[in-house]
Chains A and B, each alone.
Chain A
Amino acid sequence: MGGTYGSNARLYYYANSLSREGWQEDLNGSWVFYSMDLRGLDISANGEYFALGLSSGEGSDSFVLFFSEGELMWSSMLEGY
């Protein structure tokens, strides 16, 4: 899950969600993208992969980030978008 708080985008990653119970604070990963807005987030059917779209606070560039089991695999900049 993720969102934009203030001027930073934040992403929280929980694995094995189905086997969790109650209030959970032990994240499997979290990221802060400074001066970024979170514009999109999607996850593969089996939960192994997820991708997010960020736009710079200035709004001049966007980025796509792709994760595998919480590890960043690749990124892509969309210049001018």
Chain B
Amino acid sequence: MSDDGNVIAVAANGEEESAIFFYKQSTSKSGEDVPPDVIFYPSSEDIYWELNGLSMDGNGYAAAAIAGSYIFALTSDGDFLWKYYASGSEFSEYFTTVTVSSNGRYAVAGSVMPLSVYCFTLYIPPYGRDRWEAIKRVHDTEDEIIDALNDLDELGMSLEELSDFISEGGYTYPFTEDGDIANVLNGLYEAYMYLRSKIITSDIPPIPVGSELYNELVSEYGLLLEDYPTVSGRIQLLYAILFGS
């Protein structure tokens, strides 16, 4: 389990095949028969031994597992990282225990016969070294489209009015009607499309004006979602409200 409890890794052996299951956003799930989010089959990497141990780092990014003479590592997205086969000169070594450091840097595995301890680098965390670079990239990308939000804020129209303008006129992108409104709508549409190619990985369902979710959003974040904490998130929500349907 990750430190925050959100990611759970489970190793399980079936009669025919072993698998590692990952559950994500565990603290937000509820109910019965919750399906795993990711399934990894060691056989996909030619590892056919029964799984005998599993450990995950505190961030929930990666895990190390042992299976017979193999130790291998994978991310919680199911991406295989590496494997190691412990072949002693006289014995086949069987790993009996594995533990991953909380920061994900190291995996330590031990075998009893012969008594051995191995230490591996689980992963070199891009999350530490490149974190600021990634944040800067997002920040720079969002800077490219911030004018679209500023123009919306300055227009002085509510989302309901803009939505009515679109639906009553039957307008679609590109908007060529009223100058200021068209500029704002074009700006928001293009901002979303830009982010869709850079940061946003998938569309969210439409959020019609007047729907329960819409009312909750404007109640929480303001009539133009101006208090929403991220630029990309605000643009995505505005797109779902104005253009989603």
Contacts and interface: CB of A to CB of B under 8 A. Distances in A.
Interface of A: 40, 42-46, 48-51, 53, 62, 64, 66, 68, 73-78, 80-81
Q: Is the interface of A mostly helix, strand, loop or mixed?
A: strand
Query: Across chains A and B, which 6 residue pairs bring their CB atoms closest together, nearest first?
Result: A49-B5, A44-B5, A81-B12, A45-B3, A42-B1, A76-B34
Interface stretch (B24-32, B125-133, B199-207, B235-243): B24-32
A9 to B, nearest CB: 15
Q: Is the interface of B mostly helix, strand, loop or mixed?
A: loop
B36 A76 contact: yes
Given A42-B1, A45-B3, A64-B8, A81 B31 contact: no
Contact of B31 (A40, A43, A74): A74
Given A62-B12, A80-B15, A81-B19, A45 B33 contact: no
B4 A66 contact: no
Contacts of A64: 8, 10, 21, 23, 34
B208 interface: no
A80 B47 CA distance: 19
Interface string B1-20: 11111001010111100010
B13 A81 contact: yes
Contacts of B30: 73-74
A68 B58 CA distance: 18
Contacts of A46: 3-4
Contacts of A50: 1, 5
A45 B8 contact: no
Given A53-B10, A76-B21, A76-B34, 8 more contacts: A42-B8, A44-B1, A44-B3, A45-B58, A49-B27, A73-B27, A74-B34, A81-B19
Contacts of B229: none
Contacts of A48: 5
